[in-house]
Copies of this chain bind each other. A is one copy, B any other.
Amino acid sequence: MKDRGILIVVSGFSGAGKGTITREIIQRSGKYALSISATTRAPREGEQEGVHYFYKTREEFERMIADNELLEYAVYQGNYYGTPKAYVLQQLAEGRDVILEIEVQGASKIKAQVPECVRIFVTPPTAEELKRRLMGRGTENQAQILGRMKRAVEEAPYMPLYDHILINDDLDKAIEAFERIVQSEHMKQTFIGEITDELIEIVKGE
- The chain A residues found within 8 Å of chain B, CB to CB, are 123, 126-127, 130-131, 134, 142, 146, 149-150, 152-153, 156-157, 159-160, 162-167, 177, 180, 183-185, 187-189, 191-192, 194-196, 198-200, 202-203, 206
Contact = CB atoms under 8 A, between A and B. Distances in A.
Contacts of A194: 126-127
24 contacts: A126-B194, A127-B191, A127-B198, A131-B195, A131-B198, A149-B199, A149-B202, A150-B203, A152-B199, A153-B200, A156-B192, A156-B195, A156-B196, A159-B187, A159-B191, A160-B188, A160-B189, A160-B192, A162-B188, A164-B184, A165-B184, A165-B188, A167-B183, A177-B177
| Interface SS majority for chain A | helix
Contacts of A153: 195-196, 199-200, 203
Copies of this protein, total = 2
A157 B127 contact: no
Nearest to A142: B206
Nearest to A126: B194
A172 to B, nearest CB: 12
A169 to B, nearest CB: 10
